[in-house]
Amino acid sequence: MVWGLIFVFGLIIGSFLNVVICRLKTNEDVTRTRSHCPHCGQILSWWELVPIVSFLFLRRRCWHCRKLLSWQYPLVELGTGILFIIFFWWLGGSLINWWLAGPKIFIWSIFELAYWFFMVSVLLVIFVYDLKHYLIPDSLIGLGSAAALFFSLANVFYFGNNSLALGFIPTGLNAWQPFLGALLAALGAGGFFGLIVLITRGRGMGRGDIKLAFLMGLILGWPKILVALFLAFLGGATLGLILVALGRKNLKSALPFGPFLVSGTMVAVWLGSFISAWYQALLGF
């Protein structure tokens, strides 16, 4: 039942993310303005807003003007629901086990789950928006960075060694390692992309990618950020070569890199430690 509720919750959040994606371009208010058809502007009824179901029932057409609706709507909703389930499973997938582990673990597990749900939402919007408009909004980078920094600091203060006279400031390098590791990874990744932009004069990479790389570092820390960047460059190069071979692109064509960075981040969150350990063992480190 819990897994089903989380999936439905993901569908609902995905529906809201579609609103955010569409209104970031038009600067419409995402909370006060009611949902409307992107073609005719007609205000939508509740039965036209049921995630996935309404899209299928209406056969991909607006009920009022009959124009085709984008596949973005059900795909974002379904993707959000699936990712919410994956992250819930990745974090343990059991409220009962969290509860039995004690109140401190239970509170942190709920907080961590909420954090990853929020971060998934931010990254999904970045993925789709950059894919559509070749642009990464600064507002999303700011929200994501603030959340990642807060999460790292919360981890330090919640599990740190509170031995100072003040009683609430963690001491020792080990206590601050998660926060410092995330900050150094962010500065390193952002600096690396900034160097690429400087060398290529903006032709090889956009400024939005610099900011997204910084956010990735805050989310992943070290060494997961290396895994994410490697996967992003590998995925981008592979798809680019395939599109060139098919005649869909040429070597000078622009290709949004944000979706590859987001995909690399997702994989690195789940498998970054495993891939990093495997690679180090392969090299004999």
pLDDT tens across 83-108, in order?
Answer: 999 999 999 888 898 999 888 899 99
Give the pLDDT of residue 253: 74
Give the pLDDT of residue 280: 67
Q: Which of the pair, 277 or 180, is modelled with greater confidence?
A: 180
Q: What percent of the chain has pLDDT over 70?
A: 92
Where does the pLDDT of residue 174 fall: very low under 50, low under 70, confident under 90, or very high at 90 and above? low
Q: Which of the pair, 155 or 21, is modelled with greater confidence?
A: 21
Q: Are 264 and 227 in contact (CB under 8 A)?
A: yes
- Among the ranges given (19-23, 87-91, 265-269, 270-274), the one the predictor scored with the smallest mean pLDDT: 270-274
Of 24-28, 91-95, 115-119, 134-138, give the range with the top mean pLDDT.
115-119
Q: Residue 234's CB: how many other CB atoms inside 10 A?
A: 12
DSSP single-letter state for residue 248:
S
Where does the pLDDT of residue 130 fall: very low under 50, low under 70, confident under 90, or very high at 90 and above? very high
Q: Is the pLDDT of residue 164 over 50?
A: no
* Structure tokens given for 185: 């990874």
Give the pLDDT of residue 162: 46
Q: How many helices (H) and strands (E) does the chain have?
A: 10, 0
Domain ranges of the chain: 1-98, 134-285
Give the pLDDT of residue 115: 97
What pTM did the predictor assign? 0.90
Cβ partners under 8 Å of residue 258, min gap 6 = 126, 127, 129, 130, 131, 136, 208, 209, 212
Give the pLDDT of residue 170: 58
Give the pLDDT of residue 278: 76
Output the DSSP codes for 4-73: HHHHHHHHHHHHHHHHHHHHHHHT--TTTSPPB-TTT-PBPPGGG-STTHHHHHTTTB-TTT-PBPPTHH
Give the pLDDT of residue 172: 57
Give the pLDDT of residue 79: 97
Give the pLDDT of residue 217: 96
* Structure tokens given for 87: 């992250």
